[in-house]
Amino acid sequence: MITSGSDDLMQRARRVIPGGVNSPVRAFRGVGGSPRFIASASGPYLRDVDGNEYVDLICSWGPMILGHAHPQVEAAVRDAAAKGFSFGTPSENEVALAEEIVARVEPLEQVRLVSSGTEATMSALRLARGYTGRSAVVKFAGCYHGHVDALLAAAGSGVATFALPDSAGVPDSAAHETIVLPYNDIDALRAAFEQHGDRIAAVITEASPGNMGVVPPLPGFTQALRDITTEYGALLISDEVMTGFRCSKAGWFGLEGVVPDLFTFGKVMGGGFPAAAFGGPAQIMERLAPDGPVYQAGTLSGNPVATAAGLATLRGCTDEVYARLEVVSHAIADGAANALSAAGVPHTIQWAGSMFSVFFRDEEVRNYDDARAQDTEAFGRFFHSMLEQGVHLPPSAFEVWFVGAAHDDAAVQKILDALPDAARAAAQG
C-alpha cells in the first residue's frame, strides 16, 4: 500500500502542529507507524490522500452513525449554511434539536447546547457544584469525560493509550477535589462516601464506559450509584457523550433505565459537527445563567449549521438504523471472535447494546486494571494487518469498534475477509 502522500503530510504537520495531530490518539502512538490522512469519506468508507480506501471502524469516534456524507444530513447542512453560518442570536434549529433530545430521553426536561463533549461535562460539573454548594467530585478510573482539568485523573481514551497517570498542567487544587475510584466496585464507592460524603457534589460516570474499551456496569452498579448519591445529597451525572443515541434511541438510559440527575451528550447529536449538550430537570437547569448564578456560555453554542446536522442525524436514527447496527456489530464481532480463536489469540468481546470492543485478553474486563492487562502489542500487529487490508480500526486497544448503519454487506464482508490474516499477525508475538 502506497502511503507517501500521508507520510509527507505528517512531516509537514509535525512542523506546525504538536505531534502532527489535533487530538493525540490520532497519532498512532498506541500502535506504531504513521497515520493516514483522509481526503474524503462516504457511507462506510474512508479514502486517504494516496487513494487507498478503508472500511471505517472509527466513524469519527462515534458521530457518523448514519455513515459519511449521508444525503439527508448533507442536504440539511447545505440548506443551513446557505442561510448563514452563525448568528449569535437564538435560532429555531436550537429549539428543534433540544426538543428532539428531550423527546428521546424521558427524564430530561431541559438541555443547554454546547460545542464539545468536554464542554458538556465541564459545565455539568460546574452546575452540580453550584447546585449543591460542594466541591468534590467522584470519577472512575478508565472513564474519560473530555480534557476537563478535574476529570483527567486516571482517564481512559488517549490517556489510557499513552499510559499517562494524569496530565501535566492540572493544578493540585483541581485534582485535589477529584476522588478516583475503581469502576464496578460498590464497596469502594460506599467507603468514599462514608469518608467524604458531605463534600461530594457529584459522581460522574460514563453511562456504560467505552473509553477503556467497553466495560458495562455490572448488574446493580448504576442503581447503587443512584442510591448512594441520593442518600448523601450528591448529584449523579451520566456521561452519554459516547453512548447517547448509539446504544439505543435513548442511549444507555434507554437500556438500563436508572435516572441520573444530569446527562451529557455529544458525538451522534452533532452528526459530525461541533454540537453537544448537558441537561436534566428544570429545577436544576434553571440554576444556569441567565436565570441562575451558574455561568456558562458559548459564541458558537447552538450553531445553526451544527444543529441542522445534529437534527438531521437524530431524525435519521430510526428503528431500522438501530436494527442494522445490531446486525452489523454482531457480524463483525462474531467474525473477530472466530478469527482470533482460530489463531489462538486470547480475547474477550464486551457489549453495551450494539456497541462493542475487543480486548486482547481472555478474561472478563470489569475495570481499568483489567483493561490494562490486555496485550496491546498483539493489538498493534492486528491493527496494522487490518489497515494494510483496507480496514481502519481505531488506533488503540482501548477503544470501541464503531460501526454505522451505512456498513452494508459488502463493507462487512471486506472486514470479515481481513480478520483471519490479522488474527494470525496478532498471534505472531
Could you say which of 26, 70, 104, 145 contacts ligand PMP (CB under 6 A)?
145
Q: How far apart are the first and last CA of the chain?
A: 23
Q: How far is the CB of 208 from ligand PMP (least distance, A)?
A: 10
How many angstroms separate the CA atoms of 47 and 37, rounded? 9
Could you say which of 6, 93, 116, 374 contacts ligand PMP (CB under 6 A)?
116
200: nearest Cα among 261, 264, 149, 125: 125
**Sequence-separated (6 or more) residues with CB below 8 Å from residue 193:** 200, 228, 231, 232, 234
Q: Which of 267, 322, 370, 375 is catalytic?
A: 267
Q: How far is the CB of 145 from ligand PMP (least distance, A)?
A: 5
Considering only the stretches 44-52, 113-121, 162-170, 403-411, report the one whose residues sit in contact with ligand PMP under the rule CB under 6 A: 113-121
Residue 233 half-sphere exposure, CB side, CA atoms within 13 Å? 10
Considering only the stretches 13-21, 51-59, 101-109, 141-149, report the one whose residues sit in contact with ligand PMP under the rule CB under 6 A: 141-149
239 lies in the site for ligand PMP, by CB under 6 A: yes
Could you say which of 6, 52, 91, 118 contacts ligand PMP (CB under 6 A)?
118
Q: Which of 144, 183, 322, 368 is catalytic?
A: 144
Shortest-Cβ-distance residue relative to ligand PMP: 117
123 lies in the site for ligand PMP, by CB under 6 A: no
| The residue to which cell 451544527 is assigned | 306
Name the residue type at position 110. Answer: Q
Q: How far is the CB of 157 from ligand PMP (least distance, A)?
A: 5
Q: How far is the CB of 58 from ligand PMP (least distance, A)?
A: 11
Q: How far is the CB of 6 from ligand PMP (least distance, A)?
A: 23
303 lies in the site for ligand PMP, by CB under 6 A: no
Question: Is residue 183 among the annotated active site residues?
Answer: no
Quick one: cell of 55?
472500511
Size of the site for ligand PMP (CB under 6 A): 16
Considering only the stretches 235-243, 312-320, 353-361, 365-373, report the one whose residues sit in contact with ligand PMP under the rule CB under 6 A: 235-243
211 lies in the site for ligand PMP, by CB under 6 A: yes
353 lies in the site for ligand PMP, by CB under 6 A: no
Q: How far is the CB of 291 from ligand PMP (least distance, A)?
A: 26
Could you say which of 63, 67, 142, 266 contacts ligand PMP (CB under 6 A)?
266
146 lies in the site for ligand PMP, by CB under 6 A: yes
Q: How far is the CB of 322 from ligand PMP (least distance, A)?
A: 19
149 lies in the site for ligand PMP, by CB under 6 A: no
Contact pattern from residue 372 through residue 411 relative to ligand PMP, giving x for each residue in contact according to CB under 6 A and a dash for the rest: ----------------------------------------
Question: Is residue 144 among the annotated active site residues?
Answer: yes
How many angstroms separate the CA atoms of 306 and 299, rounded? 13
238 lies in the site for ligand PMP, by CB under 6 A: no
CB nearer to ligand PMP: pick between 114 and 288: 114
242 lies in the site for ligand PMP, by CB under 6 A: yes
Q: How far is the CB of 170 from ligand PMP (least distance, A)?
A: 16
Residue positions annotated with a catalytic role = 144, 239, 267
Q: Under the rule (CB under 6 A), what is the footprint of ligand PMP? A: 61, 116-118, 121, 144-146, 157, 206, 211, 239, 241-242, 266, 276
